Amino acid sequence: MFSQSELSTISSSSDTSSFSLLSTPNQLDMDFERLMQFIKERDVSQITEAVKRNLKYFSTTNNRQYNNTIRFINQYKLWGTYYPEKEDYELADNRAHALVEHREDFEWLYKILKDYRSKRILVNILSYWLMSEPKKIEQICDKTFNQYFDLDIVKCNKNEVFVDIGGYIGDSLVYYHKSFGRNCYKKMYCYEIVSANIEYIEKNIELFHLDNVIIRKKGASDRNGTMYLSSDALSSVSQLSESGAIAIPIVKVDDDIEEDVTFIKMDIEGGEEEALLGCLEKIKKNHPKLALSVYHNHKDLWKLARIIYEADPSYNFYIRYYGLPVFPTEYILYAV
């Protein structure tokens, strides 16, 4: 864990000179500035050691929760593995590189976020990467609305053309229907790469009487071509690769959908950046609402916002957290 002096640097220092947000910043602004100052004053190796110390402290204060967290991290391997007994500290290295090398990107993101709920979520996620303190995640859990469909942010009407990239079993189609009503869309496109998942999508379409849904058994990317799946079994975490048993066509949404689109949702296990690049013409031309998963690695949280902003700086950005109060997943970047 941090020494007392290190904790004071983050928790009670009045030095906010590193990053000026407002002439009279509030407590949350000051919390963020202190976190950024703490990171600025240390190099990658020092932040790596801080992350490792805090993970070790977490293991002593709540061993069961720590073991469950590390088991989850090592199972999915999206953020790096962590086996201290094998001197494998990839997770700590990745967190440190993200915090140190992209500190200015996080500062930029904090400034452009449109509400303090979003800013609090960002501060707590970054603090968790450093401190591994579960209370940071407990504080931002919110189940007020269905994931991807925060009614304070997203408004839909009967003319919506909704593009669901990463359809899984059709759950997002169903939640769209439950969130906005039966008459709040004109057409839905659903991209899904796993045959077993598509069978469930078809069942849900029939069960909930969803009309005008077009299923695309394709992957969304920044190019048109072919990639591969290792398995076609039911799964929520399937990823495409350059080799495998099952060939899957990949497409740019810009090329695959001729009509204008109004709302794009993505959750494709780390492939969001490439898929977003394949939607840039739609973004520039149509200004669709965007709800993007940004938790599958340490870069998407800032990088997807950068891509969108550079394509159309008139977007407003928000973050919402829909995950469990254990390890930060299921946080969504909204751009509207």
- Least Cα distance to 129 among 97, 161, 101 occurs for 97
pTM (two decimals): 0.92
Q: What is the pLDDT of residues 43-53, one digit of tens each?
A: 999 999 999 99
Q: What is the CATH number of the domain that holds 172?
A: 3.40.50.150
Q: Domain check: are 177 and 255 in the same one?
A: yes
What is the H or E stretch that residue 126 is in? helix 116-131
CA distance 114 to 288: 18
Percent of the chain exceeding pLDDT 70 equals 91
Q: Domain check: are 64 and 182 in the same one?
A: no
CA distance 158 to 200: 25
Q: Is 188 among the domain residues?
A: yes
Tokens 């960002």: give the residue: 122
Q: Domain check: are 89 and 125 in the same one?
A: yes
Give, for all 336 residues of the chain, the pLDDT tens digit. 454 345 444 544 444 444 555 567 799 999 999 999 999 999 999 999 999 999 999 999 999 999 999 999 999 889 999 999 999 999 999 999 999 999 999 999 999 999 999 999 999 999 999 999 999 999 999 899 999 999 999 999 999 999 999 999 999 999 999 999 988 999 999 999 999 999 999 999 999 999 999 999 999 999 999 998 877 666 556 677 777 888 999 999 999 999 999 999 999 999 999 999 999 999 999 999 999 999 999 999 999 999 999 999 999 999 999 998 888 999 999 999
Q: Answer left, alpha or beta for residue 291, where phi above 0 means left and psi between -120 and 50 means alpha.
A: beta
Residues 6 or more apart whose CB falls under 8 angstroms from that of 233 comprise 194, 196
Tokens 């967190």: give the residue: 95
CA distance 322 to 331: 6
Q: Is 296 helix (H, G, I), strand (E, B) or coil?
A: coil
Residues 6 or more apart whose CB falls under 8 angstroms from that of 249 comprise 217, 218, 219, 224, 225, 226
Q: Domain check: are 8 and 134 in the same one?
A: yes
Q: Is 144 among the domain residues?
A: no
What is the H or E stretch that residue 263 is in? strand 263-266
Q: Domain check: are 28 and 62 in the same one?
A: yes
Q: What is the DSSP code (8-state) at residue 328?
A: -
Q: Are 325 and 125 in contact (CB under 8 A)?
A: no
Cα–Cα distances in Å, from 289 out to 218, 248, 266?
22, 27, 11
Q: Is 81 among the domain residues?
A: yes
Structurally, the chain folds into a number of domains equal to 2
> Whole domain around residue 166: which residue ranges?
161-293
> What does the H/E/C string look like for 189-233?
EEECCCHHHHHHHHHHHHHCCCCCEEEECCEECCCCEEEEECCCC
Q: What is the pLDDT of residue 187?
A: 98
